[in-house]
Amino acid sequence: MSEQNSQKHSFQAEVAQLLHLVTHSLYSNPEIFLRELVSNASDACDKLRFEGINHPEYYENDPELHVRISLDKTNNTLTISDNGIGMNQQEAIDHLGTIAKSGTKDFMSKLTGDQKSDAQLIGQFGVGFYSGFIVAEKITVESRRAGTDASEGVRWVSEGTGEFDVEQIDKASRGTDIILHLREDALDYLESAKVKQIINKYSDHISLPIEMQKEIWQQEEAAEGEEAKPGQYVKTDEWEAINSASALWTRNKNEISDEQYTEFYKNLSHDFEAPLAWAHNRVEGSTEYTQLLYIPSRAPSNIFTREAKAGIKLYVKRVFIMDDADNLIPNYLRFVQGVVDSADLPLNVSRELLQESRDVKTIREGNARRILTVLDALAKSEDAADQEKFKTFYAEFGSVLKEGLGEDMANRERILKLLRFASASNDDVVTSLADYKANMKEGQKAIYYVTADSLNAAKNSPQLELFKKKGIDVLLMTERVDEWAMEFVFEFDGTPLQNVAKGAVDLGDLQDAEEKKALEAAAEQFKPVVEKLSASLKDKTSEVRVTTRLVDSPACLVVAEGELSPQLVRMLKQAGQAVPDSKPVLEINPSHPLVQKLESSAQFDDLANVIFDQALIAEGGLPEDPAQYIKRINSLLLK
């Protein structure tokens, strides 16, 4: 197609910003560009394998898939070619001119200018193509989609600034050629030895051949009496593979180094950090499959959005089937990356079939058990490096893991063993449920915990006052998911779990007979006040009662067993969920001067409402009518 029909386009704003960062040495390791582009080429071949199941004509007359690297010292170009699925003109515009993944605004908002953290984000958002501009002053992409006519090729050209040109071309072969016009300071990437070294380091595991032109040593003979001329390597017409071209997960794990596992993960996930741990196993039985699963060291930015998907690639008998096969891992383990290669699923498996397949259910359960086993080993390890890995894991993914308490009943006890919480006795150090149980006071019959919107709110909760007085530790649960997740947990290792803000406080053997007798006496003494409070606050409370759980506060709010806590009610309302009407119980401290003042107060209703609203504020809520609350406070202050 003639040059005049070339169309000029502007990059998406986020891409323009990204390219600015890339061209200003964002990547601290420039050779990474080759890994990224070879990985993309390999993915294109995988996609042809998948589409070729139903469209064998896509292979045309070229059934052997490969990636080829060509070095041209005359024109200073490095070309990565594949004979995979290719692109048509619109796909080239869409894929190379925009960040195709959702969440681009969130992505750009997190860019800080710090090379290391920004590079991690780029990896997470899968925009490795742009890494070519680390070494290239211009990139030309020529592509034709498999199954289209030779005249429907496309050429995409950009110098990495604000625009790119697209034109239609004739291209005899399907697939994509990425031609890097190297900058002067990057010409060492035209040396075949350097390129082979990079491929061996980063891409040796890729399951199809990465080829370069075979070179032979040519030594010209000198004429008689002349000095010997220097020899040189000369390219032949023959192509040879420079990688082992065997899928890493199919190899014996005893033959694979930690470095190879790590580099495979980086290619698979486009992450720039090494994984925390991995599991590689061949599972045999009623369902046969190979699993290679990785736990990343950093959570992706969209981990808590609906867009987040598990990063599991599904293969059937080494044929790539799909990315993001989220049916192969439970949702609470969606951060796991890896590969599953099934020997039993059909090649034409669809996402709908994955939802119904018994084999898939077996694989999903097996993957969950394997990841939990890896995490358990890290948690129990006495090795300092493993302990640090588990600490990193929990900081990044602990909140997601807790979702499993409500989603995976079969593994609930295993998940509980992995959870860590701050406690009232030491909020700087997290503790496991097992450690808490081992340190319970003699006579203590339950594991006590409190939920709150923040750590400060939890450790200063009025409900803890009696527990602190008696030296009984209480776990502090302060994440949004805690309130929901603990609705599914009733005991740990045979010991009940008790939310101290639910039901009447009963410390059993930890309360002596005198305390119980004093409570009965106070309840009788304050019976008229309780009745009057119940009448005054009938629209706000379901019950008013005297309690011994309070030491310094005048009152607190609790809910009946089986009812939703105020935190969960607020959370559900914020999410737009309908919640049943319920009123909390107001418990009053008969020893507090403010409560004692109630008996003779001329402003009983005002003081009663202020006590209730203060109790509501103490547990993280807000008065229903803040203006009225302030008015009552001011009135009482003036009196």
Domain boundaries along the sequence of the chain: 3-216+234-241, 248-389, 419-509, 510-638
Tell whether residue 351 is among the known ligand binding residues: yes
**Sorting pLDDT into bands at 50, 70 and 90, what band is 114?**
low
Q: What is d(CA 369, CA 267) in angstroms, rounded to the nearest whole number?
A: 25
Q: Which residues contact 557 (CB under 8 A, 6 or more apart)?
A: 501, 566, 584, 585, 586, 587, 612, 615, 616, 619
Fill in the amino acid letter for 98.
Answer: T
The length of the chain in residues reads: 639
Q: What is d(CA 256, CA 213) in angstroms, rounded to the nearest whole number?
A: 28
* Closest C-alpha among 411, 611, 420 to residue 530: 611
pLDDT at 328: 92
Q: Are 167 and 143 in contact (CB under 8 A)?
A: no
Q: How far is CA 506 from the centre of its chain?
A: 40
How buried is 223 (Cβ within 10 angstroms: 0-12 exposed, 13-18 middle, 19+ buried)? exposed
Q: Domain 419-509 has what CATH class?
A: alpha beta
Tell whether residue 73 is among the known ligand binding residues: no
Q: Reduced to 3 DSSP states, what percent helix, strand and coil does the chain have, rounded to the nearest 5? A: 45, 20, 35
Q: What is d(CA 352, CA 357) in angstroms, rounded to the nearest whole number?
A: 9
pLDDT at 622: 85
pLDDT at 100: 41
Q: What is d(CA 178, CA 273) in angstroms, rounded to the nearest whole number?
A: 26
**Sorting pLDDT into bands at 50, 70 and 90, what band is 112?**
low
Residue 632 belongs to what H/E stretch? helix 626-638
pLDDT at 403: 94
pLDDT at 53: 86
- CATH architecture of the domain covering 3-216+234-241: 2-Layer Sandwich (3.30)
Tens of pLDDT, residues 65-111: 999 999 999 999 999 999 999 999 999 988 887 654 433 444 445 55
pLDDT at position 210 over 70: yes
- Strands of 526-625 (E only): list them: 543-546, 555-558, 585-588
Tell whether residue 6 is among the known ligand binding residues: no
pLDDT at position 620 over 50: yes
Tell whether residue 82 is among the known ligand binding residues: yes
Q: What is d(CA 363, CA 383) in angstroms, rounded to the nearest whole number?
A: 31
pLDDT at 494: 93
Tell whether residue 125 is among the known ligand binding residues: yes
Which residue in the block uniquely carries the two structure tokens 């808590």? 304
pLDDT at 4: 43
Tokens of 268: 């698979």
- Strands of 122-272 (E only): list them: 136-144, 153-158, 163-169, 175-182, 210-218, 232-241
Are β-strands 67-72 and 210-218 bridged in parallel, bridged antiparallel, or unpaired?
parallel
Average pLDDT over residues 51-68: 93
Q: What is d(CA 356, CA 207) in angstroms, rounded to the nearest whole number?
A: 30
Tell whether residue 103 is among the known ligand binding residues: yes
Q: What fold is seen in the domain 510-638?
A: Four Helix Bundle (Hemerythrin (Met), subunit A) (1.20.120)
Fill in the amino acid letter for 180.
Answer: L
Are β-strands 543-546 and 495-499 bridged in parallel, bridged antiparallel, or unpaired?
unpaired
pLDDT at 102: 35
Q: Is 399 or 205 the better-scoring residue by pLDDT?
A: 399
Share of the chain above pLDDT 70, in %: 85
Tokens of 536: 């005054």
Tell whether residue 597 is among the known ligand binding residues: no
Tens of pLDDT, residues 557-615: 888 776 766 667 766 766 677 777 778 889 898 889 998 888 788 889 999 999 999 99
DSSP 8-state class, residue 463:
G
- What are the b/e assignments for 136-157, b being 16+ CB within 10 Å? bebbbbbbbbbbbeeebbbbbb
Which residue in the block uniquely carries the two structure tokens 């995979």? 84
pLDDT at 99: 54
pLDDT at position 436 over 60: yes
Tell whether residue 255 is among the known ligand binding residues: no
Q: How far is CA 124 from the centre of its chain?
A: 10
Q: What is d(CA 49, CA 98) in angstroms, rounded to the nearest whole number?
A: 26
Q: What one-character-per-residue DSSP string does 323-346 give?
A: S--GGGS-GGGTT-EEEEEESSS-
Lowest mean pLDDT among 68-72, 115-119, 491-495, 497-501: 115-119
Q: Are 311 and 305 in contact (CB under 8 A)?
A: no
Lowest mean pLDDT among 36-45, 400-409, 514-523: 514-523
DSSP helix/strand/coil, 88: coil
Tens of pLDDT, residues 299-336: 887 788 766 677 898 888 877 778 788 889 999 999 99
Q: Are 125 and 108 in contact (CB under 8 A)?
A: no
Question: Which H, E and C letters describe 494-544, residue by residue?
Answer: CEEEEECCECCCCCHHHCCHHHHHHHHHHHHHCHHHHHHHHHHCCCCCCEE
Tell whether residue 124 is among the known ligand binding residues: yes
Average pLDDT over residues 257-263: 92
**Sorting pLDDT into bands at 50, 70 and 90, what band is 356?**
confident
Q: Which residues contact 16 (CB under 8 A, 6 or more apart)?
A: 10, 162
DSSP helix/strand/coil, 442: coil
Q: Is 318 or 470 the better-scoring residue by pLDDT?
A: 470
Q: Which residues contact 487 (CB under 8 A, 6 or more apart)?
A: 406, 568
pLDDT at 107: 44
Tell whether residue 494 is among the known ligand binding residues: no
Share of the chain above pLDDT 90, in %: 43
Lowest mean pLDDT among 5-14, 259-268, 328-337: 5-14
Lowest mean pLDDT among 276-285, 301-310, 333-342, 461-470: 301-310
Q: Domain 248-389 has what CATH class?
A: alpha beta
Tell whether residue 101 is among the known ligand binding residues: yes
- What are the b/e assignments for 502-527, b being 16+ CB within 10 Å? beebebeebbeeeeeeebeebeeebe
Mean of all residue pLDDT scores within the chain? 85
pLDDT at 116: 43
